[in-house]
Amino acid sequence: MKHFLLLAFFLPLIFPGCGNRFSDWAADHVKHGKVREIHKERVVKYLRSIRIYQDFSTVGIFDALWLSHEVRQAYIDVFSSKYVLDKEKEEELLRKQRIENDNFISFYVLSYIPDTSINLGEKNCPWAIDLKVNNKLYVPKVVETVELSPEYLTFLSRILNKYKNVHLVKFAAKDENGDPIITARTRILEMRLSTIDRSTSLVWHIDKNQNLVKDQEE
């Protein structure tokens, strides 16, 4: 197989006229399976990333994916296609995802914090995390290290590496009075990451339906 791949690379360079014929032959003889179209852009636009330095040294790298309604719908679409779910099962899965969003504002946070083995959310971690909504600050209810599902591994493939830890970070979606934290008047979600001597923010600009404002989509 190794020799075949080398041949596939060098043959078009040595014999330019053979390139197209070789490609046609390879398409017929090397099976790639049927490729599904996955619209990563539906998810990636909800991703925010930042790298923090002290002088010229990295002190933290953070990527946060807000698990919004649209992101969860994108996950369901890919999951349902993979497992060929019927409409009833797909609707049940969507219902569970909506219940999760009714109870929590959730993020996948990928972090690289050099010079420490302490993960985000653990005692004595150099970095603390909170969420600012409508000028009020909220601390997470859950920060846990997780493994991403194959669907989210695909969505986030361009930022994943072996040095980053993956966390599920969940904030209560309702305040102590039972009122939703995100309202129709909310325009900004701000995740704040802080150490003793510095802080930074990841920001999502949204409309009254919790969709990203067009000119803020990344």
Q: Distance (Å, rounded) from C-alpha 212 to C-alpha 195?
A: 28
* pLDDT number for residue 94: 94
In three state form, how does the secondary structure of the chain look?
CHHHHHHHHHHHHHCHHHHHHHHHHHHHHCCCCCCCCCCCHHHHCCEEEEEEEECCEEEEEEEEEECCHHHHHHHHHHHHHHHCCCHHHHHHHHHHHHHHHHHEEEEEEEEECCCCCCCCCCCCCCCEEEEEECCEEECCCEEEECCCCHHHHHHCCCCCCCCCEEEEEEEECECCCCCECCCCCCCEEEEEEECCCCEEEEEEEECCCCCECHHHCC
Q: Distance (Å, rounded) from C-alpha 14 to C-alpha 33?
A: 29
Supply the pTM of this predicted model.
0.83
* pLDDT number for residue 218: 52
Instruction: Note the pLDDT tens digit of each residue in 38-55.
Output: 789 999 999 999 999 988
pLDDT < 50: residue spans in the chain: 4-7, 11, 22
* pLDDT number for residue 56: 87
Integer Rg of the chain from CA: 22
Instruction: Note the pLDDT tens digit of each residue in 20-40.
Output: 554 565 556 566 556 667 789
| Residue 140 · residue 127 · CB < 8 Å | no
In sequence order, the 6+-apart residues with CB closer than 8 A to the CB of 191 are: 48, 64, 107, 129, 130, 131, 132, 201, 202, 203
Q: Across the chain, what does the average pLDDT equal?
A: 87
